[in-house]
């Protein structure tokens, strides 16, 4: 779909509330394919709620959310196959090794069996997990856990990577991409 004019994310008049609290009020934005897009704001501004709508964990109450042209309300499973997601909360199992955590996500994302080992190796290599993926996740530092979560999100080779609070737990060197002065991505598409 890259280069076909379809937006990576097309959010139109999104509103979402919890009981009497309106968390997201008439938000609209677009993200082009290949674009790095960040959502900044104070705590309670609705950033995580919006991300949960993008990732189909919540259905929009009002408005529409399209991911690569697919309505998240009507086609949640198809949208999920296109996404990699690193949530704000920890998503690893401390009782598994790093490799086993990524293997579990490969199974959850239905990575074909004959491609699994290569994709797991590629994802672990991409995040710099040389020689440590056989250790129990409970022995990893906070930054290592965050990088493992990134490997989990990349194992299915997503078209769009969504990260909620992407720099939590990372040291400043790991949080800042080489050659640039800042890091602020909530969603990026390939």
Domains observed in the chain:
1-74 (3.40.50.300), 83-180 (3.40.50.300)
Q: Residue 31 has what pLDDT?
A: 97
Report helix, strand or coil for 97: strand
Q: What is the DSSP letter of 30?
A: E
**pTM (whole model) above 0.75:** yes
The conformational region for residue 13 under phi > 0 = left, psi -120 to 50 = alpha, else beta, is: left
pLDDT at 3: 55
> Which residue, among 36, 127, 140, has the nearest Cα to 94 in the 3D structure?
140
Q: Tell me how far apart the terminal alpha carbons of the chain are, to the nearest angstrom.
A: 10
Q: How many CA atoms lie within 13 A of 149 on its CB side?
A: 27
pLDDT given for residue 108 in this prediction: 87
Cβ atoms of 8 and 68 within 8 Å: the answer is yes
Q: What is the predicted pLDDT for the residue at 179? A: 44
Q: What is the pLDDT of residue 169?
A: 60
SS3 content of the chain, % helix, strand, coil (to 5): 30, 25, 45
Q: Provide φ and ψ at 4, rounded to 5°.
A: -95, 5
Neighbours of 69 (CB within 10 A): 14
Q: For the chain, list residues with pLDDT below 70.
A: 1-3, 167-190
| Per-residue tokens: 114 | 């004959």
């Amino acid at each position: 779909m890259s280069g076909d004019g379809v937006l990576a994310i097309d959010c139109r008049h999104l509103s979402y509330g919890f009981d009497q609290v309106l968390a997201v009020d008439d938000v609209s934005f677009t993200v082009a394919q290949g674009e790095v897009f960040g959502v900044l704001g104070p705590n309670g501004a609705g950033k995580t709620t919006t991300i949960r709508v993008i990732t189909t964990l919540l259905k929009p109450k009002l408005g529409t959310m399209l991911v690569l042209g697919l309505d998240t309300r009507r086609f949640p499973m198809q949208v999920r196959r296109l996404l990699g997601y690193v949530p704000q909360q920890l998503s690893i199992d401390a009782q598994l090794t790093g490799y086993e955590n990524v293997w579990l996500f490969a199974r959850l994302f239905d990575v074909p069996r004959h491609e699994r080992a290569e994709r797991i190796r590629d994802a672990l290599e991409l995040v710099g997990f040389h020689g440590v993926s056989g250790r129990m996740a409970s022995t990893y530092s906070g930054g290592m856990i965050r990088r493992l979560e990134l490997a989990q999100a990349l194992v299915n080779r997503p078209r769009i990577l969504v990260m909620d609070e992407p720099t939590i737990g990372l040291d400043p060197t790991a949080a800042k991409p080489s050659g640039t002065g800042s890091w602020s991505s909530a969603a990026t598409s390939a």
